[in-house]
């Protein structure tokens, strides 16, 4: 890189600020240009230091991370990565932060977490590098909630071939997924399996939040359960999700097998299993995210008669996974984020 990525670290703990700074500065392309111990200071320093990326704690004195995030988005928008604690409040606040305009989150080191310091360090550095040069596309939570009234309809009397819908996404995915799933009707005639790259422990809270906001049911997937129509199954963090067909039933399997395309769960694993379970009757969707996970798998869906959809560049937080799939010739329709549900329903 011609210029180092400038990062501001915001946390009320001096120890955490030092740990995060040391992690980031272990990479030659990153420089921590300032720190702040509360949200008010962070808002001011964002204007004076003008960092490329901000890491933001949620619980802080004077002004908390959620308030500071909203001020930053209003006054000098920057990619903000939230540092999240694995508690019910921490998870809820994290998903609210994503609605308010945060780009992504990583877990704070904790004994509740099934991630090592090395894993967290690798995740933080990769996310900072991925979001450093993006132009922000902010969707406020009010806009997202208002979209619920524009849900689509499905004719429940229409005879149709049973299909499987698979969605793969990463950075920028949580709020984008919410936008897509909120438009789907409760009588959606297929199961939907989702790979959202997310640390272990957070996917259950994410699924519960989506379930409270959507007409379709949303849950964290469980091993050996039957996939039913009108239900969305989120792959648990650190588990691959696979679709199998047994005695005419669609069964979900979870596995701890090796990472694929650098990820577990992997969208490639999901999409390839859909082809094995049902050669032609698949709809694959690949959305915003860094890297290339899902591109090979969605090409298999495309090559075997399924229908494939990619989120376009202009509405993607990171045009990575979907870009690779488009460039490979794996995609039937490239559409903006708010057209993805319409495209799914039209093909179901």
Catalytic residues: 170, 197, 293
Contact assessment for residue 120 and residue 84, using Cβ atoms and an 8 Å cutoff: no
First to last CA, the chain: 45
Identify which of 324, 26, 6 has the alpha carbon closest to the alpha carbon of residue 170: 324
| Dist. CA 73–CA 93, nearest whole Å | 17
Q: Around Cβ 145, how many Cβ atoms within 10 Å?
A: 13
How distant, in Å, are the alpha carbons of 85, 96, 171 from that of 36?
19, 22, 25
Identify which of 137, 98, 170 has the alpha carbon closest to the alpha carbon of residue 320: 170
Residues present in the chain in total: 348
How distant, in Å, are the alpha carbons of 102, 115, 128 from that of 105?
8, 14, 10
């Amino acid at each position: 890189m011609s210029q180092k990525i400038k990062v501001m670290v915001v946390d009320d703990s001096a120890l955490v600020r030092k740990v995060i700074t040391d992690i980031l500065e272990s990479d030659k392309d990153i420089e921590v240009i300032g720190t702040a111990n509360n949200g008010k200071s962070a808002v001011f320093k964002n204007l004076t230091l003008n960092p490329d990326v901000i890491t933001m704690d949620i619980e802080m004195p004077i002004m908390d991370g959620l308030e500071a995030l909203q001020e930053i988005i209003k006054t000098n928008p920057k990619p903000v990565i939230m540092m999240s604690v694995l508690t019910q409040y921490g998870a809820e606040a994290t998903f609210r932060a994503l609605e308010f305009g945060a780009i992504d989150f990583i877990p704070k080191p904790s004994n509740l977490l099934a991630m090592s310091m090395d894993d967290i360090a690798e995740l933080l550095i990769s996310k900072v590098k991925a979001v450093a040069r993006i132009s922000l596309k902010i969707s406020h939570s009010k806009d997202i909630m208002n979209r619920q009234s524009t849900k689509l309809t499905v004719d429940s009397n229409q005879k149709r071939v049973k299909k499987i819908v698979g969605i793969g996404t990463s950075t920028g995915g949580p709020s984008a997924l919410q936008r897509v799933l909120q438009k789907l009707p409760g009588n959606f005639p297929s199961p939907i399996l989702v790979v959202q790259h997310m640390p272990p422990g957070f996917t259950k809270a994410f699924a519960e939040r989506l379930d409270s906001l959507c007409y379709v049911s949303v849950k964290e997937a469980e091993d050996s359960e039957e996939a039913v129509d009108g239900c969305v199954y989120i792959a648990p963090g650190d588990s691959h999700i696979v679709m199998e067909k047994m005695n005419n039933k669609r069964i979900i399997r979870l596995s701890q097998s090796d990472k694929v395309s650098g990820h577990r769960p992997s969208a490639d694993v999901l999409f390839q299993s859909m082809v094995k379970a049902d050669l032609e009757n698949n709809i694959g969707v690949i959305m915003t995210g860094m890297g290339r996970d899902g591109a090979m798998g969605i090409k298999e869906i495309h090559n075997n008669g399924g229908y494939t959809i990619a989120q376009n560049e202009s509405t993607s937080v990171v045009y990575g996974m979907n870009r690779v799939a488009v460039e490979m010739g794996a995609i039937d329709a490239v559409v903006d984020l708010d057209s993805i549900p319409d495209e799914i329903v039209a093909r179901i």
